């Protein structure tokens, strides 16, 4: 069975200003995700013993590996968006370079899809991580309360 590649049905006209604002928003979200990932790493370190001892070991191992992958992916997206932002001068330099401008718009459209997909996957990951930590903490708390 062949998979279908998603292609946009229409291309919206994007002004250089809106592309710049979108890029700034992406950078902000990605930098925040990077800070969150540092918090998540500290959270996992803080509860390492509970994660290792509990029945959640396999799940926590998968979550830790995913966290590592998300860190790498976040850094790669930050670099990509910064490079993309620097290329915006093609759109505002006053010179008609149709092929370069269209290539830039195509790249921007692809980034919209990729970053949106990344942020969706990242939100799902965060809820899985919080559910895991919540379960471990409840289990640990119950063990402490029982004689």
pLDDT (tens, 9 = 90+) of the chain, 147 residues, equals 566 666 555 455 678 888 889 999 999 999 999 999 999 999 988 888 777 776 778 888 899 999 999 999 999 999 999 999 988 888 777 777 888 888 888 899 999 999 999 999 999 999 999 998 888 888 877 777 665
Domain total in the chain = 1
| Residue 47 domain-assigned (yes or no) | yes
3-state SS, residue 16: helix
- 125 in Cβ contact with 70 (< 8 Å): yes
| Residue 41 domain-assigned (yes or no) | yes
Pairwise CA distance, residues 28 & 146, whole Å: 45
Q: Which residues contact 128 (CB under 8 A, 6 or more apart)?
A: 63
| Residue 1 domain-assigned (yes or no) | no
Domain that holds residue 68: 16-145
CA 99 vs CA 28, 86, 90: distances in Å: 29, 17, 10
pTM of the complete model beyond 0.95: no
Burial class (CB in 10 A: 0-12, 13-18, 19+), 71: middle
Q: What is the pLDDT of residue 29?
A: 97
| Residue 48 domain-assigned (yes or no) | yes
Q: What is the pLDDT of residue 10?
A: 47
| Residue 112 domain-assigned (yes or no) | yes
Q: How many CB atoms lie within 10 A of CB 47?
A: 17
């Amino acid at each position: 069975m062949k998979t279908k590649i998603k292609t946009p049905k229409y291309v919206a006209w994007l002004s250089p200003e809106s592309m710049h604002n979108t890029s700034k928003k992406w950078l902000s979200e990605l930098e925040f995700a990077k800070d969150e990932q540092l918090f998540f790493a500290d959270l996992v370190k803080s509860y390492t013993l509970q994660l290792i001892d509990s029945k959640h070991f396999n799940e926590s191992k998968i979550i830790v590996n995913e966290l590592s992958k998300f860190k790498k992916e976040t850094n790669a997206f930050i670099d990509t968006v910064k490079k993309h932002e620097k290329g915006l001068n093609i759109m505002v330099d006053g010179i008609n370079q149709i092929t370069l401008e269209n290539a830039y718009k195509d790249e921007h459209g692809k980034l919209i899809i990729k970053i949106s997909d990344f942020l969706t996957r990242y939100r799902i990951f965060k809820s899985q991580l919080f559910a895991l930590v919540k379960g471990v903490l409840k289990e640990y708390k119950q063990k402490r309360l029982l004689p």
